[in-house]
């Protein structure tokens, strides 16, 4: 089953964008890309190092350039960084160039999924829960406004979420 359009996964860190994106791409016969991984490959530097050297603003500029480039490919499933939606140009590219799926998850689930991950610069703080709550309060309305539909990933299997996405996008399982 080949998709005639791109699928862009948005949502907070720990929502499952990369894991679900890989599965979804396999199911529908599209290429999977992760904007953060593409930035790391392109620069030869880790996201934490980019944050350290260039700050969040420098990282966001690189992210915008990468999202513009990646969203022009077809067909792809793209896992975006959680903060990519803060940039108006990114929002325009995502909405205009594919279907946008918001993978929703609670702050409690995010904490559980990310508590050992040292590759998340915004969580390198004394109170990760407070930081995740602040990010959620700013970004959730933007995710909701952009999304063609919303999928709750809390406590769900990759298979279950992937199936719900393909069903919502009109893909039918071939016999």
- Asked if 71 contacts 79 with a C-beta cutoff of 8 angstroms, the reply is no
- Asked if 10 contacts 94 with a C-beta cutoff of 8 angstroms, the reply is yes
Distance CA 42, CA 62 (A): 10
Q: To 5 degrees, how large is the angle CA 116–CA 121–CA 126?
A: 70
Q: With H, G, I as helix, E, B as strand and everything else as coil, classify residue 150.
A: strand
**What is the reported pTM?**
0.92
pLDDT band of 115, cuts 50, 70, 90 = low
Which CATH code fits 6-167? 3.40.50.300
Q: What is the mean pLDDT of residues 120-142?
A: 84
The structural domains of the chain, with segments of one domain joined by +, span: 6-167
Total residue count of the chain as it appears in this document: 175
Name the CA radius of gyration of the chain, rounded: 15
**pLDDT tens-digit map of 139-154:** 999 999 999 999 999 9
pLDDT of 174: 46
Determine which helix (DSSP H) or strand (DSSP E) holds 64, and give its type and residue range. Answer: helix 47-70
Place of tokens 């720990």: 14
- Asked if 119 contacts 26 with a C-beta cutoff of 8 angstroms, the reply is no
**pLDDT tens-digit map of 56-114:** 899 999 999 999 999 999 999 999 999 999 999 999 999 999 999 999 999 989 888 77
Lookup: tokens for 59: 């990282």
């Amino acid at each position: 089953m080949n998709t005639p359009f791109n699928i862009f996964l948005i949502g907070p860190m720990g929502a499952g964008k990369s894991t679900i994106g890989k599965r979804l791409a396999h199911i529908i016969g599209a290429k999977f890309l992760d904007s953060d991984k593409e930035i790391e490959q392109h620069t030869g530097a880790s996201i934490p190092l980019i944050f350290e050297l260039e700050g969040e603003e420098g990282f966001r500029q690189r992210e915008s350039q990468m999202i513009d480039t990646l969203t022009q490919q077809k067909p792809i499933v793209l896992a975006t960084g959680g903060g990519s939606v803060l940039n108006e140009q990114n929002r325009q590219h995502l909405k205009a160039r594919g279907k946008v799926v918001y993978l929703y998850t609670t702050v409690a689930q995010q904490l559980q999924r990310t508590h050992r991950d040292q590759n998340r610069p915004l969580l390198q703080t004394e109170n990760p829960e407070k930081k995740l709550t602040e990010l959620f309060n700013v970004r959730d309305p933007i995710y909701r406004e952009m999304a063609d539909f919303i999928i709750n990933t809390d406590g769900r299997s990759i298979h279950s979420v992937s199936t719900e996405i393909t069903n919502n996008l009109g893909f039918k399982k071939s016999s």
